[in-house]
Structure 1
Amino acid sequence: MPSAPRRGAPAYASGTLVEQITGRVRDVLAEHAGDLDTAQAVLVKAAIPDVMALMKSSRVGGRYEHSEFPPTAEILRKKSQKGADEIWEGRPKWRNTALVKAARNGERFEVTALDMNAAYLSALKCHLPIGQLREDTTGVHDPKKAGVHLITPADWHHPDLPNPLGNRMEPGELWVTESTLRLLLDCARKGLAETPVIHRSLVSGASEALLEKLRRALAETRKTALAEGDEVTVAYVKAMYSKFVSTIGESSANREIRRPDWMHIIRAKAFANLWMKAHKAHTAGLKVVEISGTDELHVVGDWQTVFPQGRDLNQVKQKDVYVLGGER
């Protein structure tokens, strides 16, 4: 039996977790006589219970016992069955208006559309609250806690960079997640904006490692499957992490956990990761043309000097190359 990781050491995925995923794929393929399409459909359909079982396995021996059904704060409750709650995730939808205007005036730009790989899988590495969220009115961010925060964000004065708050147009106070607040605080440390004002927080003690074993197991399995051309396992892994994120809130598709705070924090982390990619490109001298969703970044310039190309988590894919502007 492998020894337990020392206290404070990174929680790396064990071979047992990876074997749990690959063994499941082998069993389903055997049950369906190697029919790849049928096996993939079966695995994708079972992704929610399978990823929850994997999560439970990943938490065995963990330092923290997380709450699966803590009381849900009012701001995290949907106003109707198909409605939304009060949390702003910072989803980006931005175009560089100055560059677009220059293109309309005849300047020509060759733009590369880049696709970030497995954005929600990468976003599982984020600060998550462990227990029930409790009110904090100190107005001070405690890095050892996580949750949601009512803030007044600072103004953004960088027309060549997207606002890290996403495409929100309304001024004034808003509820944001831990991921967005940490990004805004990081921007303040970089001198890009003033520090946001925190009016009220709902937080719990936090850990960045709650989903780390799960994330690493999925990432390692995905990497091996890509190298071997095993698209069945790639699709299965994608279904597990994407459905995990989409159903851990108030979804009736997942009865094993209800953590809308986790769902919002993870989704916001994916948006924050995309913004950080845009900032990295900008800092390296590329022109940022557009960012949108969780994974789309359009740039002008030699992007391969900034980002490695490929399908791994630390790489990006070239989605398209197009020309903006030109002859009038």
Structure 2
Amino acid sequence: MAWFDHTRKGSRYEHSSFPPVNDLLKKTGQKSGADAVWEGRLSWKNMPLRTDTAPREVTALDANAAYLAAFKTHLPIGQLTHDDSGTHDPKRAGIHHITPPPWNHTDLPSPLGDRRTAGDVWITEPTLRLLQRCARDGLCEAPAIHESWTSGATENVLEKLRRTLAHVRREAIAHEDEVTTEYLKAAYAKFISTMGESTYNREIRRPDWMHILRSQAFANLWLKARKAHQAGLDVVEVTGTDELHLTGDWRRLWDEGRDLTEMKPKHHYVLGGSDQ
């Protein structure tokens, strides 16, 4: 939080650290339970490909610093206010109650992630924008928005912090300083996980930010899967914030390495064949 406060000095936009928490963002239990917002977490496997007997070599890739990359997202600045117009204002951000469109693709995961319940759902800004992008690309119909809770928004709230941490991380990797690298990873992950209703962070209470940042990480991974699919690679598995399994030459799309724009291979395996 000290790093965040330092990078906000002289900023153009003043954000609220303790706006009233909307009931939709409050957990249903004292110590456990979830609120009403769906983050779009991915947990998908390409089952038609997995049941095919043709052998395929698969590379499991790791998206570097997924949560840090998610700092580049539209965050609401102030208190969320209600809107039942059914329209989306790109200058605002928050949570939206939608009827999701059908997803009729077996070779790509749904942008809604591993949601197994049908019907209307409350989603965050990154998930809504991802669904709208899919609609523009002809992958699905546009989601129907019923109501929203939003505030004026900007992508720049965490931008200085993101750039600073990315720079320090890059230097630590160059000097093989794994202690600093792991410390930074723990710091920005804890920053996100405690900015909701956590008792471990008394300097900010923005559960809307927490959900939006997590959703942006899932959306970023989905976009990587889409990029691979468009390039003719088979998408085998997409999981969490950072795991992407592909067939084909993924190095045509990304450089290998540990920078935020690069991808890191974790392991290889073969699908299909006589041993499947």
Name the TM-score class by shorter chain.
Answer: over 0.9
Q: Deviations over 1:155-192 (max 9, x none)?
A: 01111111111010211100000010010011111111
Aligned to 1:150: 97
Match of 2:9 among 60, 80, 83: 60
Match of 1:101 among 26, 41, 51: 51
**Does structure 1 residue 89 correspond to structure 2 residue 36?**
no
Residue 225 of structure 1: how far off its partner (Å): 0.8
CA contact (8 A) 2:39 2:212 kept: yes
3-state SS of paired residue (2:16): coil
Aligned to 2:74: 127
Matches of residues 279-290 of structure 1 in structure 2 within 5 Å? 279-290=226-237
- Distance in 2 separating the partners of 1:241 and 1:300: 31
- Distance in 1 separating the partners of 2:8 and 2:168: 18
- Distance in 2 separating the partners of 1:229 and 1:108: 38
Match of 1:248 among 190, 195, 215: 195
Could you list the runs of 4 or more consecutive aligned residues of structure 1 that deviate by over 4 angstroms after TM superposition? none
Residue 323 of structure 1: how far off its partner (Å): 0.7
3-state SS of paired residue (1:175): strand
Residue 53 of structure 1: how far off its partner (Å): 0.5
Residue 200 of structure 1: how far off its partner (Å): 0.5
State the Cα RMSD in Å. Answer: 0.7
3-state SS of paired residue (2:135): helix
- Distance in 2 separating the partners of 1:125 and 1:108: 39
Aligned to 2:57: 110
**Does structure 1 residue 161 correspond to structure 2 residue 108?**
yes
3-state SS of paired residue (2:174): helix
Residue 279 of structure 1: how far off its partner (Å): 0.1
**Does structure 1 residue 225 correspond to structure 2 residue 184?**
no
Residue 327 of structure 1: how far off its partner (Å): 1.1
Letter in 1 for 2:50: V
Match of 2:19 among 67, 70, 86: 70
Letter in 1 for 2:48: A
Residue 260 of structure 1: how far off its partner (Å): 0.2
- TM-score relative to the length of structure 1: 0.83
3-state SS of paired residue (1:304): helix
- Distance in 2 separating the partners of 1:250 and 1:271: 21
Letter in 2 for 1:274: L
Q: Deviations over 1:30-56 (max 9, x none)?
A: xxxxxxxxxxxxxxxxxxxxxx00111
Aligned to 2:131: 184
Matches of residues 246-325 of structure 1 in structure 2 within 5 Å? 246-325=193-272
Residue 101 of structure 1: how far off its partner (Å): 1.5
Aligned to 1:14: none
**Does structure 1 residue 171 correspond to structure 2 residue 118?**
yes
- TM-score relative to the length of structure 2: 0.98
Aligned to 1:31: none
Residue 316 of structure 1: how far off its partner (Å): 0.6
Residue 205 of structure 1: how far off its partner (Å): 0.2
Residue 239 of structure 1: how far off its partner (Å): 1.4
Letter in 1 for 2:54: E
Residue 97 of structure 1: how far off its partner (Å): 1.1
Q: Which runs of 5+ in 2 are unaligned?
A: none
Match of 1:238 among 185, 191, 207: 185
Q: Deviations over 1:245-279 (max 9, x none)?
A: 11000111111000000000000000000000000
